[in-house]
Amino acid sequence: MAQSNRRKTKITEVPKGRIFIQSTFNNTIITLTDNNGNVLGWETAGHAGFRGARKSTPYAAQVAMRTVVEKALTYKMTDVDIYVKGVGSGRESAVRALQGSGLMVGQLKDITPIAHNGCRPKKPRRV
């Protein structure tokens, strides 16, 4: 029998953390981190069992958020800051699912990147 070299990390108490929601047109990715940025858990709509067009629905994002909240409660987390990125349909429903879960939401910030001046245009064609 082969033994794995991975060490089992001990679950510690993390009272305050961050939740990053990346919502695209095709999927919703939710990441749970501590305040230093170390990933404690993640979930996507595809990992939650949704495939195809159902993966980009608000309900799929809500189910994924419920799983992340359960992972946060195993770390005895009470306060979270939310960072939302993207333009997909799962943004608001994921935040609403989090607000109804019992975790205290400290900060809700939109970090969607916005193009400011675009790319450099192509040089004019010489004939």
- Would you state the pLDDT for residue 6? 74
pLDDT in tens, 89-124: 899 999 999 888 889 999 999 999 988 888 888 999
pTM, entire model: 0.84
- Would you state the pLDDT for residue 4? 65
- Would you state the pLDDT for residue 100? 84
* pLDDT greater than 60 at residue 1: no
DSSP bridge partners of 108:
82
Q: How far apart are CA 23 and CA 32, in angstroms?
A: 15
Report the chain's mean pLDDT, rounded to a whole number. Answer: 91
